[in-house]
Structure 1
Amino acid sequence: MVTGQGLPALAQYGDDATNRWLSAAAHLDAAYARDTDHELTKDRLTALGPSLGVDLVAVARHVRLAVRRSDHRDALLSVLLAAWAGAAVSLVYGLVRNMATLTDLALYALVAALGGAWILVLLFEHRARTLALRVVEADDPPDTLAPPLDKDLEAGLRAQERTNVVPYEEEAEFRHPFVGSGDAFQERVWQPIDIGTPAASPTGGTLSVIPFDVVDLHTYVAREMGKIAGLQGLRARNRLYVLGTRVRHAGEELLPDRLNPPRALLPKQMVQAGLVRSGGGMRTYLCLERVGEGGRVIVSMHLRARLQHPSLTWEVGVYLIPPLHPRFEEVRTLRLDAFGHWWTLGTFSTRTFLPALFGAPSRLARHAYAWAAHRWRMGHLRRDIGRRHVEFDYGASTSVRQRAADWEQWRYSDRTDAQDFAQRLQQGVLTATEHFLKAHNVDTSSFDQAQQVINHHSYNFAGPIKGPSIFGAHGTVNVPAGGPGPGQPPAAPAPAQP
């Protein structure tokens, strides 16, 4: 065991690094801030996808603060633009009427309006950069560096971070239901295991198999995985995945009001019911999630035990979320010295104050129109749902964290970390399954044979995909997840045929 006693400590990524990048980016990227504010805080009917490793309350507070500051700046710029327009009219009138005094005053007013706009843009950008730097450098948690939001809204976001149910949009059913978990790396059904043969007794004869069900198996694996896999910070929980168009058929526990979004937390018994017997478009999976250093890489494994006596199989899917897009780390490029800070602010203001000034009214009008259009759309949808009993798709399509990811940032250390996580998760599930079967007096000879086949499929995050057959070695079924897009890591290669 490596203890590291007596060795100097190296700099580490902060556990909340991703939260800080996403929160800081809100002050520097107006489009991201407005889109995320709309997703997290505005009226909605669809569910939010789980953002693994992200403090949604912290992000929501900072994007709301950034949006309000942007709107405040545009409101002040619109006033200055009105003053500038009035001065321009007065100047023309003074020139036409040959009124020297009025002409001089109008010129001063024009210059003052333009100068005021330049100063206004500079000061608001200074405030934005100061807050962004403070978010990434302060010891205080990011959520304490922005004003709180409505209590009910924040309570809903907190519940979303602990969610045990995920409604997913119907379109996601063609790929995989695990919205928010990233892109599929491997989807398989493991070799069947015979669980009907009792184990031999140490004193001779055979033992009696202790009955169990999938709830017992899932509970045991979830409880033991952290110790077995050796992955500190591993999160394991059962989660019910519900097709968005089937949400209202799940009952009032999930959708108490058809005119509002579904709940993020369900009673434990309802989640377990999806293990024993899946419903139409409703299945429960054991979700094992491991967030890498600073949240750069997230590996999740979704498991579902299929128990049909006397055979047990595991449905297994491994999904990856790569590091953040560079746009979310723009704060790293900001100058920290006083001269550089104000010099870059001055050049920024000089370059942008005219477009900011003359575009302020149209931006305010566009945002007001978007708000009104959203309110109209929500009202229209609620009327349709309430009066016509339309089957509405309440499902989520993605998440804040997944949407911010960029496969072009997939580096060597990220690949090796992800490979290590995936292999540890797989071996942990196998070890926990073996321990569980032995504890229930099941003969594990069939399991030992299946384990050899399963371990034959290694997790390799490099090399091209060539469209392998879905049938792997020894009867294992590989469910293809679709080819990777540009810059994405390829799927695992098919095992060599014996």
Structure 2
Amino acid sequence: MTAPGRRLPELAQYRTDAVTRHLCAGAHLDEDFARDVDTELTEDRLRATGLSLGIDLRALARHARAAVRRIDARDRRLAVICAVGVWAAVPVLLYAVATARWDLAYTAAALVVLAYASAWWLVHQAESRARTAALTVEHGAQRPADLAPAVEPDVERRLLEQKRANVVPYTASAERTNPFVGSGSKLKETVWQPIDVSRPAEDPAGGGKLAVKPFDAVDLHTYVAREMENIAGLKGLQVRNRLYVIGNHVPYVGAELLPDRLERPRAQIPKQLVQAGLMQSGAGMRTYLSLVRAGEGGRAIVSMHLRARLHHPSLTWEVSAYGIPPLQARFDRVNRLPVDGFERWWSLVRHATGATGPALIGAASRLSRRLSDRRRRARALEKTRREIDKRHVLYDYGAVDSIRERVADWDQLGYTERTDSQDFLQRLQQGVLIATERFLKDHNVDTSSYDQAQQVINTHTYTFQGSVQAGVIGDNGTVNHHNNAPGAQGGPAGQGRGTP
């Protein structure tokens, strides 16, 4: 907001999909990451997919699949070249040397040189295409999802549903530490001071007390969700009620969440089920109002999960704050690639020269290992399905984490992200308080108890520094952290998985 009549030049802005572009580019430049993403998002499995906060999972799945197919095609060709041009030529060369058949020796040596040259060119071209794809998705004008072929239609539909998920199955082990899987590291969890909502307000026109308008937790959540963006002054705030379910309790929700016990749970359920989790929590099932705000370019994300505990005559808010820091430094490689000219040519030559030997010799073993891994995962999944179907085992369908939080690194958190995130959290807290006060006044509730509770609640502050498990609660609720926060997400992509 600027003063009337004031005109200022516009500064360059981060793209709103900057993180998605970084991850899609990273899939082309990092084979391990691409395979982990392709396996998690597109392969058959039973566990739920973690929240897609700040990223387009469809675009990421498409680029990961394109990268994996390019590498597999390269390795299949290298395996053929190795079999024909190296392993077949080496015995001939040894025989020629032993028998002094120099004509055979020259032929075999020429075959080896030709095989190596062909392999060098394949490695060079594959890397060149990978870099071109990475630079195009990072700097191109088109949307990332439009720059790679679509994956299977059912996968596309599922990932599109995931973007608007209103239910989150989380693994049972997370219940003790971090039930809001996919939201990052815990910054604070608390239950605010109770507010008496049973006393009617005074009639401003005189004449005694006003009649309290009946309301429930659904009404309060709906009001806060509708008004929070304007009250908090946070444009782009994502607000959604979500039912959080412990993974091994997923079948108890019903067919709306788990139509088939041998398939993964759905990401969207009827809103009546979500509202039911507000009125009365089920067995391992609770509904929270999730407020998510991404910083500039989506580099850092903060979320606040609220649950109104309305048990007359009092109201309390259960509040949990979480944060996700910027991406790991390895995803910035795309911005260090030579774009054109001699530097790009020389960089590709150096890469191909250093990588051709290991790539050529190990192509067959890599293909065999990948096939073996796929078969192992398929056998494990089939075994799990038999146990569910025949032995009626209660399976944990909950998500373990999310791709976004898994590739984040607290060491990449800068001053701007830290201060912006603290501002977001304070605005969210104040916005909830203001919305609650307005709601109570609209329903003719005496807010004197609210005024007393607000003085206590406003002492809660937030420090966007990582997992609360790494520190202690200081004065006024401030979280003090050590640098090596064990809750920080900095491990390699794919870590922590290994179950169907």
Q: TM-score range by the shorter chain?
A: over 0.9
Deviation at 1:481, TM superposition (A): 10
**What residue identity is the alignment partner of 1:95?**
V
Amino acid at match of 2:484: P
The 5 Å alignment of 1:59-458 reads: 59-83=60-84, 84-204=86-206, 205-458=208-461
Q: For residues 180 and 466 of structure 1, do their structure 2 counterparts lie closer, same or farther at Cα, with a shift above 3 Å needed?
A: closer
In 2: Cα distance, 1:80 partner to 1:215 partner:
65
Structure 2 letter corresponding to 1:167: P
Alignment partners' CA distance in 2, 1:485 and 1:179: 22
Partner of 1:495: none
User: What is the letter of the counterpart of residue 46 of structure 1?
Assistant: R
Deviation at 1:97, TM superposition (A): 2.9
SS in 2 for 1:300: strand
Matches for 1:13-92 after TM superposition, within 5 Å: 13-83=14-84, 84-92=86-94
The Cα shift of 1:283 comes to 0.3
- Determine the C-alpha separation between the residues in 2 that align with 1:181 and 1:381: 28
Retained in 1: the 8 A contact 2:388–2:394? Answer: yes
| Residue of structure 1 equivalent to 2:472 | 467
1:486 to 484, 487, 500: 484
Which one-letter code corresponds to 2:60 in the other structure? V
* Residue deviations 1:137-167 (CA, integer Å, cap 9, x gap): 1100000000011111100000011000000
1:184–1:481 contact (8 Å) kept in structure 2: no
Q: State the 1:184 CA deviation.
A: 0.6
Q: Aligned in 2, Cα 1:134/1:416: closer, same or farther, shift over 3 Å?
A: same
SS in 2 for 1:318: strand
3-state SS of paired residue (1:26):
helix
Q: 1:111 to 1:466 in 2, by over 3 A?
A: closer
* TM-fit CA distance, 1:94: 1.9
Does the 8 A contact of 1:187 with 1:317 survive in 2? yes
Distance apart, 1:203 and its partner CA? 2.0
Q: Contact 1:187–1:481 (CA<8 Å) still a contact in 2?
A: no
Instruction: Give unpaired runs (5+ residues) of structure 2.
Output: 489-500
Matched position secondary structure for 1:27: helix
Give me the TM-score of the superposition, normalised by structure 2.
0.93
RMSD: 2.0
Quote the offset at 1:323 in angstroms: 0.2
- Large movers: runs of 4+ above 6 Å: 462-465, 480-485
Partner secondary structure for residue 89 of structure 1: helix
| TM-score of the two chains, using structure 1 as the length reference | 0.94
SS where residue 29 of structure 2 aligns?
coil
Q: Kindly, what percent of the aligned residue pairs are identical?
A: 55
* Whole-Å separation in 2 of the counterparts to 1:67 and 1:96: 43
Q: Structure 1 residues 371-380 or 1-10, which shifts more?
A: 1-10
Task: Report the alpha carbon displacement of residue 293 of structure 1 after superposing the two structures with TM.
Answer: 1.1
> Which ranges of structure 1 fall in alignment gaps of 5 or more residues?
491-498
Q: In structure 1, what is the Cα distance between the partners aligned to 2:99 and 2:480?
A: 73
Count of equivalent residues: 483
Once the two structures are TM-superposed, the CA of residue 466 in structure 1 deviates from its matched residue by: 5.8
Question: Using a 3 Å threshold, how does the CA distance of structure 1 residues 343 and 5 change in structure 2: closer, same or farther?
Answer: farther
The alpha carbon displacement at 1:362 in A equals 1.0
- More displaced 10-residue stretch of structure 1: 336-345 or 451-460: 451-460
